[in-house]
């Protein structure tokens, strides 16, 4: 799948001033680090998932928030979306190369945090 506009510009060697409010890279960072963006990228790290599978894997996210988060990540070129023309349509999501690249440090951060935390008792 093709990347978003921000990713294509970065590939062309464009430099961004991420501290400027009009910087397109800033939007991508905002989407990645949003409350749900991180979890979508981490959920898709191992395999492509359908919408309902993503919703089940990320406890606490509403359908509306998942749809909004996915829309932003697809637009940014981090996630691809494939619709199978069935009734009802089956929509599958996965990470683009850009999404894997961006998601890798998030996954490492998540793994480091979970290794350091003491296990909580179920309850």
- The radius of gyration of the chain from alpha carbons, rounded to an integer in Å, stands at 16
What pTM, to 2 d.p., does this model score?
0.76
Q: What angle do CA 50, 51, 56 make, to 5 degrees?
A: 100
Bridge partners of residue 50, in order along the sequence: 92
The token pair that represents 77 in the structure block: 């070129």
Higher-scoring residue by pLDDT: 38, 20: 38
* Selection from 70, 66, 98, 97 nearest residue 82 by Cα: 70
pLDDT at residue 3 is higher than 50: no
Among 54-58, 93-97, 108-112, the minimum mean pLDDT is found in 108-112
Confidence of residue 107 (pLDDT cuts 50, 70, 90): confident
């Amino acid at each position: 799948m093709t990347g978003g506009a921000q990713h294509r510009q970065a590939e062309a060697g464009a430099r961004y001033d991420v501290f400027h409010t009009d910087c397109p890279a800033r939007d991508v960072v905002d989407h990645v680090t949003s409350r749900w963006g991180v979890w979508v990228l981490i959920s898709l790290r191992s395999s492509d998932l359908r919408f309902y599978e993503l919703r089940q894997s990320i406890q606490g996210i509403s359908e509306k928030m998942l749809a909004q988060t996915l829309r932003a990540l697809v637009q940014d070129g981090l996630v691809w979306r494939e619709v199978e023309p069935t009734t009802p349509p089956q929509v599958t999501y996965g990470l683009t190369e850009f999404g894997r690249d961006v998601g890798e440090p998030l996954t490492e951060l998540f793994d480091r945090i979970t290794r350091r935390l003491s296990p909580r008792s179920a309850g």
